[in-house]
Structure 1
Amino acid sequence: MIGVHLFAGTPEIMGPILQVNLHPVIKATAMVIWHLATLLLALMTFGIAYLTKSRNAALSLFIILIQLSFAGLFLWYNITLFSGLFALPQWTIFLIVPALMGYAQLKDA
């Protein structure tokens, strides 16, 4: 997820934002939010890697809830702004990963 976010998403999303004439505070806010998303993806990746070695129900639930929240946001804006599901397809991965994590939790229980 991080690689796609950084190498495909940065030029596609941040490139145009940085090229248009926006107030510097708006550009800086967009950059901060972009990099916060990158950090969250990285931290969730490290958390999931940790969970492959050690059981931690609280960490697993936390990561699952973050990803489901991301999925919900993407779905909300797809439906309300685009009247469809796939203008912003990121929700799919944010449903697949927590589904697999939930399955792993149930399997190990």
Structure 2
Amino acid sequence: MEKIQNLMNENNTELMKVKQETNTIRLIASQEVIELLNLMERTYDYMFDTSAQIINMLPNNIMKNDQIVLQKHVEILTEISHSALNIKEHLIQQMRNDLNKI
């Protein structure tokens, strides 16, 4: 559990760095980029919160050997991560479009 807690703390630190960096980008970004940054930030927050909940339930589910719940958690996290990657790709494309207009 200590290793998991350390990992969660590290992830939280990285999430805060991402938020700080996106705030800097917002100063010069188009409205479309700002909206995508907001969506990405909400998705990362949701992913972090969901991961924390799943990790808290993990020891109990492992002890019960509840493979159905464990698999469902994997599916949830996979879906969220795919969503985050799609948002990131759209964000990069929009930023490139904005740069091409300059």
TM-score, length of structure 2 as denominator length:
0.52
- 1:68 deviates by 5.9
**Residues 26 and 45 from structure 1, CA distance in 2 versus in 1: closer, same or farther, beyond 3 angstroms?**
same
What runs of 5+ residues in structure 1 fail to find an aligned partner?
75-109
Match of 1:14 in 2: 19
**Higher relative contact order (CA closer than 8 Å, sequence separation 6+):** 2
Contact 1:17/1:27, CA 8 A, preserved across alignment? yes
Match of 1:5 in 2: 11
What runs of 5+ residues in structure 2 fail to find an aligned partner?
1-6, 86-102
- 1:35 deviates by 0.4
1 CA distance for matches of 2:36 and 2:14?
22
Greater C-alpha Rg: 2
What are the equivalent positions in structure 2 for 1:23-62 lying under 5 Å apart?
Answer: 23=31, 24-62=34-72
**Residues 26 and 59 from structure 1, CA distance in 2 versus in 1: closer, same or farther, beyond 3 angstroms?**
same
- 1:48 deviates by 0.8
Contact 2:19/2:41, CA 8 A, preserved across alignment? yes
Aligned-pair RMSD on alpha carbons?
Answer: 3.0
State the 4+ residue runs in structure 1 displaced beyond 4 angstroms. Answer: 66-71
1 CA distance for matches of 2:74 and 2:40?
25
Greater share of helix residues, 1 or 2? 2
* Alignment size in residue pairs: 73
TM-score, length of structure 1 as denominator length:
0.49
2 CA distance for matches of 1:31 and 1:64?
21
Deviations 1:40-99 (A, max 9, x none): 21122023122144232211112234456659x98xxxxxxxxxxxxxxxxxxxxxxxxx
1 CA distance for matches of 2:78 and 2:45?
20
Identical amino acids, percent of aligned pairs: 3
Secondary structure, in 3 states, of the residue corresponding to 2:64? Answer: coil
- 1:28 deviates by 2.1
**Residues 27 and 64 from structure 1, CA distance in 2 versus in 1: closer, same or farther, beyond 3 angstroms?**
closer
